[in-house]
Amino acid sequence: MKKNNLICALVLGSGLLAAGCGGGSGSSAGNDTTPPAGPGGQPGGELTTLDSEWAHPQLPGYTLNAVTAHSTDGFISVGNRGTVLKSDDGQDWSLVAHLTSTNLNAVASNGQLLVAVGGGTSGTSGGVIFFSNDGGASWQQAATPDNTGGLNAVVWTGNTFIALGQASGSHLTSSNGQDWTRQNSGPNAATRAIAANGATLVTAHMRRLFRSTDGGSTWSESYDYGANTNYNDLIFNGTEFAAVGDIVWRFQSSESGNTNSWDVDLITGSSPPTTHSLGSASANAITFANDHYWIADNRGHLHKRAASDMESWESLGATTSNNRALNSIVHANGRFVAVGNAGSLVYSDDGENWHEVNEFDLPANSWRNMAANDDGRLVAITQSGWIGWSDDGTEWHQVPLAGDPTLTDIAWTGTRYVVSGTGVVGHSVDGSNWTMETPGATTIGFTHVAGNGDQWLAMVGGNAANDSLAICNPSGCTLSQAPDASRSLTYSVDRYLVVSFSGRVSASEDGNTWQTNISRAIPHTNLGWVRLASAGNTVVAAAPTQSETRTYVSADGGDSWSAASFPESAAITASALYHDGETFYLVDSGANMLWTSDSGADWAGQALIHPFNGVARSGGDGYFLGGAGNIHRF
């Protein structure tokens, strides 16, 4: 089957992270970083680990592509960004790990072993396989043959796992989930789904079905729809194979899977033999239980049909919020479970009455950054108009903002939290009660904020001359102009610092009068969207690409600069830069690494366990913020 059918998680290394500490202590690109793919790019030596735990393990809002039942250990779901979720009952779910930066597309079980496969669209590279022998609690990555392309489907035949994907004319086999062999036979098209009845295999492709009766040694075309349609899922229900697809919302079944043996039901459309009016959705996934087929579609709707009655399709209505697509469905242990886009999870005991899992006490998307005050209260922002605060990193409280403004940055000034966003600048002494200002036009996109005490600046980062700058205090904001082509902002000891695209540094004590070109010692004329963080007189500036050669440190508040030092083999794409009062942290979204330095000059790398967008320190604990509202304590 395609859908229903960790390297054990590497943990974040040493002390972590406080965004906005001391006022504008960190900057980021404002996008969710890519999750970990293991120690890619780590320059030699043992990867360090950290004794850490989930403080707020909210389910990630990433698309879920597949779900399967595993013996009596419940259900396993896999999805984008290497997401693996586990549930004993299909109702209460927990995040196991992010195993890879690529997508996991399918998962299968033989009752003792779980195998998950994934990858991209290449037919010759990028394929990944993970296996678990403890019910999905921990995972290891399997070695794959050279030039393994992206994998979309996996099935257990009774004695062998078979995996297929983007590569045509071949497939992979394994008896133990760990050791895989390429077989130079297979359907001559990219595979979307597979189902098995012992040695009889059926695979689904764009418009065609293929069949093998000898366990995959030889293949022949079983059915060609003859039009530009997609088959999306396949099952064998113990008696017959069944396939579903899109465009014409087709369902078809066959006891043997052989050519010319398929009964075709065009659920919508005008073609014979059977036409029904269930809308123009795509049939994404199928399961079988209680002598009925259940189909999940790309609008989050469920439909059922008696196995013996081609005329009896019944729509059960929507099951997901905002009609999010369902991508996979399974029935086991008396319960139906379906998963889909944006982390959608639904379950039912009878297939008629469905319940959506909603375990998000924080909105499950677009968390951008985090800061902490001197008493350790954590405050985090989203780009969708929400603020969350917590005193322990575990229990969080939502603060919705009027108008749902896009928020971009947050800092602690020493007396209050300050935020910037599109058309807004705000402040709060406690993180719960906020005063929001609109300096100038509501379209002004303030990208950075930093401050000291009861004054703070919000800046528009860009290439243009005369970009806007808001100079604010508790009484309100006035609009001014930032130094030309300003890209990042921080506060260092007694003045604000701005770094431009070309590496020019400007300084101001109050934001009104700027001393421009105080330093041309950053020896690079194209820093791009430079990241900036400060700790006292120490300031670090990191370019977003080739950061290993374009990161600079100043020990005198920005007057002079020198190149930072990284291991020789490092290749870094910096997505964010922070300081927590003790250590600088550089997030490498290219190789999924965290780089740390006490001085800002010499850096060491560690593997990331989970993508994160913001960091803060509360008391003796550090916390990082994932884009889906996940909080990790170390």
CA distance 613 to 577: 10
CA distance 23 to 346: 43
Contact call for residues 420 and 406 (beta carbons, < 8 A):
no
CA distance 145 to 153: 17
| Contact residues for 110 (Cβ-Cβ < 8 A; gap 6+) | 156, 161
Length of the chain: 634
What's residue 22's pLDDT?
32
Residue with tokens 């791009």: 528
The 10s digit of each residue's pLDDT in 147-162 is 999 999 999 999 999 9
Q: Exposure of 599 by Cβ count < 10 A (0-12 exposed, 13-18 middle, 19+ buried)? A: middle
Helix, strand, coil percentages (3-state) for the chain, rounded to 5, are: 0, 45, 55
What's residue 290's pLDDT?
92
Q: How far is CA 365 from CA 35, 85, 384, 389, in A?
A: 15, 17, 8, 16
pLDDT range class, residue 252, cuts 50, 70, 90: low
Q: Is the dihedral of CA 213, 219, 225, 231 positive or negative?
A: positive
CA distance 621 to 394: 12
Tokens standing for residue 560: 């002079």
Q: What percent of the chain has pLDDT over 70?
A: 80
The 10s digit of each residue's pLDDT in 362-401 is 666 678 889 999 898 999 998 888 899 999 888 889 898 8
Residue with tokens 């086999």: 173
Buried b or exposed e, range 53-84, using 16+ CB within 10 angstroms: ebbbbbbbbbbbbbbbbbeebbbbbbbbbbbb
pLDDT for residue 415 is more than 90: yes
Geometric angle at alpha carbon 567, from 601 and 491, rounded to 5°: 25
Q: What is the mean pLDDT of residues 460-478?
A: 83
CA distance 489 to 507: 10
The 10s digit of each residue's pLDDT in 254-273 is 666 666 666 665 444 323 32
Strands 604-607 and 515-519: unpaired
